[in-house]
Amino acid sequence: MDSNTRAALAGLPSMTSILASAQLSDVPHDVVKDAARSVLADVRTALLSGALDSAHVPDEQAILERVTRVVQAARARRLRAVINATGVVLHTNLGRAPLAAEVAQAVSEVAAGYANVELELSHGQRGGRLSGVEAPLQALTGADRAIAVNNNAAAVLLVLTALSRDREVVVSRGELVEIGGSFRVPDVVSAGGAKLVEVGTTNRTRAADFDRVVTDQTAVLLRVHPSNFRQVGFVHRPDRAALVAVARKHGVPLVEDLGSGLLGAAPVAGVGLEEEGVEAALAAGVDLVCFSGDKLLGGPQAGIIVGRADLVERCRRHPLYRALRLDKLGLVALEATLRMYVEGRGDHIPTRAMLMATPDALREQAVALAARIPGATVEADEGVTGGGALPGHGLAGWTVRLPDRPADALAKALRMGSPAVVARVADGAVRLDPRTVLPAERTALVAAVARARAVNDR
Ligand SMILES: *Cc1c(COP(=O)(O)O)cnc(C)c1O
């Protein structure tokens, strides 16, 4: 360490003088202390690594300002409810599926008290944590067994680790997909400790390509839903039934990562959603199926694994299961959402209702909304499923168009308002899509537009 650096380190303000600052007098002592520690450590590390020149060391006032910023950020409320006026039903940046009101109610009851998460009330002994989600999943999909973990990425990782560690996983080159947020099929296979065996080509793969590479080292044949893109032209995806036949012939399990995972009837007609049906995949003979809880299912973030009893049991017994398991809030939300399906009320799940909204109903809502917003007009427009489901398939609907300029400034004022509103900007105009606005949010949305306009006009 040179003498300049040593002098700069010695010259940093002391904890005592930071704590004595009037600027931070309304903040609990311990909080200021730890925030100051963090800021000082940062400056010291920068000095010692050479990233910060000793001539540019912040003085006491600058350090105090940094500490204040850390404290302010710590006190700020970042995550909050947002009105989704984008028309993107499963908007990943907006937390994907909103929960049904009765599901949110069940969550809040469990959140604010104790719950029988692992206690069987009938005999007072330890009970199965998953029994409340397993039974409805069995009833809804026909699966032998079912478990749930934190999200579908975790489900796929758990399945591959439990079934194929140190052995081979066979995947079509057309299905080595990236879902986003660093979930890439080849990386998940290697993270699970397995060796990836690619078969076929980018655009065309047949079941016979799988058949040819199976050896005594093969642990799993993996089929992955190409969730967020579509291949057209000279393409061939191996037929599910043909893959089942190959798997049976060799006595190797066929695992399918369905991505969205549809329970019950397709909410959007005529778009090949049948491919995503969990029940159909199991009925066709797929041994294990993994899917998300917060995509087409419309529940909380979760990853669900259903299928053959022995394979599900291997996943449940694997040490990784404990690390990936669902927390009690996710558990109760998933249970309550699945119960809506079992009781025949699946179409009241918000995301399903949004996907099923007809253009006529949306037009009516858009007209009613526009009538409360001066200058607004309605236009035929398309919503989007989002969440990597139904790529390239627009949902016919109507939006409310706001004439205000500049549109980006109004969109920002809407985002910064309370409640925050996220809207779509297209052709230089803000558009509000009623599809994703919950009925209880409509009045708040109208008021939010008025407030955002006032900010924008200033
Ligand atoms: C979305 C998706 C995942 C990841 O699911 P999460 O629940 O977001 O973890 C994995 N595989 C496929 C095919 C998907 O579509």
Residue 189: Cβ-neighbour burial (10 angstroms; 0-12, 13-18, 19+): buried
Q: How confident is the model at residue 42 (pLDDT cuts 50, 70, 90)?
A: very high
Question: Does residue 392 sit in the same domain as residue 335?
Answer: no
CATH number of the domain enclosing 402: 3.90.1150.110
Question: Does residue 361 sit in the same domain as residue 320?
Answer: no
Question: Does residue 331 sit in the same domain as residue 358?
Answer: no
| 164 Cβ below 6 A of ligand 1 | no
| 152 Cβ below 6 A of ligand 1 | yes
Question: Does residue 181 sit in the same domain as residue 64?
Answer: no
Q: What is the pTM of this model?
A: 0.93
pLDDT tens-digit series, residues 128-167: 899 999 999 999 999 999 999 999 999 999 999 999 999 9
Q: Whose Cα sits closest to atom 8 in ligand 1?
A: 152
What's the confidence (pLDDT) of residue 421? 98
| 312-331: average pLDDT | 97
| 224 Cβ below 6 A of ligand 1 | yes
| 337-342: average pLDDT | 98
Is pLDDT larger for residue 257 or for residue 273?
257
| 227 Cβ below 6 A of ligand 1 | yes
What's the confidence (pLDDT) of residue 132? 94
Q: Which of 92, 159, 160, 179 to mutate to test the pocket of ligand 1 (most atoms within 8 A of CB)?
A: 179
Q: Among 226-230, 249-253, 450-454, whose mean pLDDT is lowest? A: 226-230
Question: Does residue 156 sit in the same domain as residue 42?
Answer: no
Q: Supply the range of the domain harboring residue 44.
A: 3-75
pLDDT at 270 over 70: no
In ligand 1, the atom with minimum distance to the C-alpha of 293 is 7
Question: Does residue 125 sit in the same domain as residue 34?
Answer: no
Question: Does residue 147 sit in the same domain as residue 295?
Answer: yes
C-beta separation of 141 from 194 below 8 A: no
Q: What's the domain count of the chain? A: 3
Q: How far is the CA of 118 from the centre of ligand 1 (A)?
A: 28
What's the confidence (pLDDT) of residue 226? 85
What's the confidence (pLDDT) of residue 394? 82
Please give the backbone phi and psi of residue 288, each rounded to the nearest 5 degrees, phi first.
Answer: -135, 135
What's the confidence (pLDDT) of residue 274? 67
What's the confidence (pLDDT) of residue 227? 79
| 70-90: average pLDDT | 93
pLDDT at 271 over 70: no
| 151 Cβ below 6 A of ligand 1 | yes
Q: Which of 151, 152, 225 to mutate to test the pocket of ligand 1 (most atoms within 8 A of CB)?
A: 152
Q: Give me 258's structure tokens.
A: 């369905």
Q: How far is the CA of 152 from the centre of ligand 1 (A)?
A: 5
